[in-house]
Amino acid sequence: MNNRRISIIFCGGCNPRINRGQIAAQVQNMLMESGYQVGYNSLDVDFVIYISGCTAGCALKYNHSKLPAAVIAASSIDAVTIDEAKLVTEVTKRVRGYFE
Interface with another protein (CB under 8 A)? 15-17, 54-57, 73, 78-80
Cβ proximity to another protein, 1 vs 85, nearer residue: 85
Phi, psi of 62 (to 5 degrees): -100, 5
Using a 10 angstrom Cβ sphere, with 0-12 exposed, 13-18 middle and 19 or more buried, the burial of residue 54 is middle
For residue 92, the minimal CB distance to another protein (Å) is 20
Q: Least distance in Å: CB of 69 to another protein?
A: 13
Radius of gyration, alpha carbons of the chain: 12
Q: Cβ 86 to another protein, closest distance in Å? A: 15
Q: Smaller CB distance to another protein: residue 16 or 46?
A: 16
Q: Tell me, what amino acid is at 87?
A: L
